[in-house]
Structure 1
Amino acid sequence: MEIDFNEINYVTDPTWQVIHADYEQFLLSMTGPTVIDISGEDNTKCRVFVTLLQGDEPSGIIAIHRYLEQKGNTRPATKLRFIICSVEAAASRPLFSKRFTDGGIDINRCFGNQLVVNKEDFLQRNYQHRANLIKHAIEEVQPEMVIDLHNAPSSGPAFAISALVNTETLSLASFFSSTLILSDLKIGSLMEHNFHCPYITVECGGSEDEQAHEVAFAGIVNIANCQHIGYIHQKKSVDVIYRPLRLQLKSNVKLSYAKHDEGYNGITLKNNIECFNFGSAYQDQMLGWVDGEGLNNLNLIDKDGTNVLADYFYIRENQLVCRHNLRLFKATNNKQKAMNDCLFYVVKAPVNEA
């Protein structure tokens, strides 16, 4: 598909003809990134929702379509801006099956000063240009909050992520989840940009989970109707998890999934690895198997650029084993997604968790 990287479309208070009968027609009616503004009772303030930075994460657009379809003549408390990003990838057949278009790159790795991909320069510049258009669409309304809606690659509970933990981000997180992750990872994501307002990313749950779509929709409705965003409106207590790391394969390392050790090259994860999402992986628990390269197959890079893998895992015979009680999330048995992004995020569990 030929992509016009200069294109970004703006729509204000769309009619039912623009919204269409279902979210799939709604998506297919778009020719590129689309900004939808909804007038509010107070149009001096604006709340921004971003979705489809990755084309295989549909909960955000499903929830936005449902909100637009059901809101009728009611107005939100403030102006709302919905930004729908990787339309071309999401619209590739089958719908919502591609993180980015064939031959493309992940735009949510293009917002930082350094790209973490190795592609031709012109392709990098094009995606960075689109990323800048998205940033401008957020900045031009001077938002009072930004929420970026995503899906995890496999089933799991919803959680929020922020680069800052304060009363405002805790309040926003509480509309979607009871967990907020503080992250200082630098991977070129939109979350790393400072919009001078509270910002959270929400992982609503698995992309095929109806509950994930419901989490996104309920959060949009509650925030749209909330008169003032702040600590007083915190919907539930929120548990904070500090600074997880991403477990990744090194280049050219093969990945497999199995119930038992099949002797594959590279790394083999247990085929039920996603069961560990937000559960406990205990000290000395086995998560998979390795070939003769052992831990040299993997990277677990901290914010200083150091590979701290041996602080979290060790090899027992040919098994990949937890060195401490760990919490895992975004673990997936989707091979393509695991290889393109990470095997899972991991953080050491508090000492009192057993």
Structure 2
Amino acid sequence: MEIDYSEINYLQDPSWQALQADYEQFLLSMTGPTVIDVTGLNTNKCRVITTLLQGNEPSGLIALHRWLVTNVNQRLPQTNLRFIICSVEAASKSPLFSKRFIEGSKDINRCFVTTEQKADLKALGNAPTQPGCFERAKLIEHAIREVNPEMVIDLHNACSPSPCFAVSASVTTETLSLASFFCQTLILSDLKLGALMEQDFACPCITIECGGSNDEQSHEVAFAGIDHIANCENIGYIHQEKNVEVIYRPLRLRLKEGVNLSYAEHDEGHRGITLKKNIECFNFGGINQDEMIGWVDGNGIENLILLDKNDNNIIDEYFYTRNNLLVSRQNLRIFKASTNKAIALNDCLFYVVKHHNNEG
């Protein structure tokens, strides 16, 4: 299928017929990224929710479809709502919701870069590839900016079991309150990856990681959050639904280029790095100081990259080797650890932060 990266479709107050029989049929009825506008009581304000930036993260679409079906011809939301469904082609590939992005394409949530960032990349001889993906990111960004939103929420999933958490580039009353509609943890991130959340929309903007993509509870979290947002009168100050813990500035643990990655229950002598097969369990409880999480070959932690904000590799502040074991030097919190090898290699093994950082 040839993808038209210049296409974006618009639906206004969709009917029962347009919403199809279920969310899967609804997805398959779309020919590309789709903007759904819902008229609210106050038509001078608009709230934006994006979903399916990555095609294997379905909770936002499932929850959005359920909310639309539930609210057809029912009560109006407090303000206009704009929902943007992004990587429709990737999500529609069989089996549904199995592809993060189309093969030969690029993760759209790494394509939201400024003109200045593109110029810097070109100056370094690293011009962006797959220009169509950057064009699509611009279309999505324009669809957000054209309604001057009072908030933007980007719904995601982890590919593996995980608690729900929020991510934001700033911590304010508004971001904490919005996060509280979904979860009890907000990560303050200053990472620059080309993600939607990093853009300045002159309003609160947060990412919600709803939990594992195959977890029914993740879909429930997304639905409840959308319903809260739709029915909240004023987001200038929102009463927090629950206390929100703030975790500061996680780093991305990655493999160096060409290093082999394996998963196992015990040491099988693989080259490169081998992580414990149950690495996903650490998403819930963290890693204790001196706890083993895997095995290394003769290159030890030289296989790994953990860059600080100055692009220094500080891997030895967080991990060390004991014989051929990979061991934590600190009490750590980790996020989005997965046994999905493709994602671990293309993105990162997981996000990590020293445990005491969450004290403020």
Distance 1:223 1:88 in 2: 27
Equivalent pairs counted in the alignment come to 352
Instruction: Answer yes or no: is 1:61 the counterpart of 2:61.
Output: yes
Question: TM-score scaled to structure 1, two decimals?
Answer: 0.96
Instruction: Answer yes or no: is 1:234 the counterpart of 2:240.
Output: yes
In the TM superposition, what is the alpha-carbon distance from 1:280 to its structure 2 partner?
Answer: 2.5
Distance 1:159 1:68 in 2: 24
**Alignment partner, residue 10 of structure 1:** 10
Listed as ranges, the matches of 1:93-242 within 5 Å are 93-113=94-114, 114=117, 123-242=129-248
Q: Closer, same or farther in 2 for the Cα pair 1:295/1:142, shift >3 Å?
A: same
One of 238, 259, 268 as aligned partner of 1:253: 259
Instruction: Answer yes or no: is 1:274 the counterpart of 2:275.
Output: no
In the TM superposition, what is the alpha-carbon distance from 1:230 to its structure 2 partner?
Answer: 3.9
In the TM superposition, what is the alpha-carbon distance from 1:250 to its structure 2 partner?
Answer: 1.2
Counterpart AA for 1:166:
T
How large is the Cα RMSD of the aligned pairs? 1.8
In the TM superposition, what is the alpha-carbon distance from 1:176 to its structure 2 partner?
Answer: 0.2
SS at match of 2:91: helix
SS at match of 1:256: strand
**Alignment partner, residue 325 of structure 1:** 331
CA contact (8 A) 1:163 1:192 kept: yes
1:98-145 CA distance string (max 9 Å, x none): 0000111111111124479x9996843211111000000000000000
Distance 1:133 1:352 in 2: 36
Distance 1:298 1:166 in 2: 34
1:219-251 CA distance string (max 9 Å, x none): 000110110114442111000000000101111
CA contact (8 A) 2:307 2:313 kept: yes
Counterpart AA for 2:68:
L
CA contact (8 A) 2:77 2:230 kept: yes
Could you tell which deviates more after superposition, 177-186 or 287-296? Answer: 287-296
**Alignment partner, residue 21 of structure 2:** 21
Counterpart AA for 1:342:
C
CA contact (8 A) 2:105 2:130 kept: no
1:43-97 CA distance string (max 9 Å, x none): 1000000001100000000000000000132110000000000000000010000
1:238-294 CA distance string (max 9 Å, x none): 000000001011111111000000000111000000000041311100010011111
SS at match of 2:130: helix
Could you tell which deviates more after superposition, 303-312 or 118-127? Answer: 118-127
SS at match of 2:201: coil
Distance 1:123 1:247 in 2: 24
SS at match of 2:18: helix
CA contact (8 A) 2:178 2:238 kept: no
Q: Closer, same or farther in 2 for the Cα pair 1:142/1:336, shift >3 Å?
A: same
CA contact (8 A) 2:174 2:238 kept: no
In the TM superposition, what is the alpha-carbon distance from 1:339 to its structure 2 partner?
Answer: 1.2
Distance 2:135 2:225 in 1: 30
In the TM superposition, what is the alpha-carbon distance from 1:352 to its structure 2 partner?
Answer: 10
Could you tell which deviates more after superposition, 140-149 or 315-324? Answer: 315-324
SS at match of 2:320: strand
List gaps (5 residues or longer) in structure 2: none
Counterpart AA for 1:82:
F
In the TM superposition, what is the alpha-carbon distance from 1:334 to its structure 2 partner?
Answer: 1.3
Q: Closer, same or farther in 2 for the Cα pair 1:38/1:232, shift >3 Å?
A: closer
**Alignment partner, residue 33 of structure 1:** 33
CA contact (8 A) 1:170 1:231 kept: no
Using the aligned pairs only, state the percent identity: 66
CA contact (8 A) 1:186 1:303 kept: no
CA contact (8 A) 1:247 1:345 kept: yes
One of 289, 293, 305 as aligned partner of 2:295: 289
CA contact (8 A) 2:246 2:358 kept: no
Question: TM-score scaled to structure 2, two decimals?
Answer: 0.95
Counterpart AA for 1:26:
F
Q: Closer, same or farther in 2 for the Cα pair 1:283/1:126, shift >3 Å?
A: same
Counterpart AA for 2:40:
G
List gaps (5 residues or longer) in structure 1: none
Counterpart AA for 2:204:
P
In the TM superposition, what is the alpha-carbon distance from 1:328 to its structure 2 partner?
Answer: 0.8
Distance 2:183 2:15 in 1: 32
Distance 2:198 2:341 in 1: 27
Distance 1:155 1:177 in 2: 15
SS at match of 2:305: strand
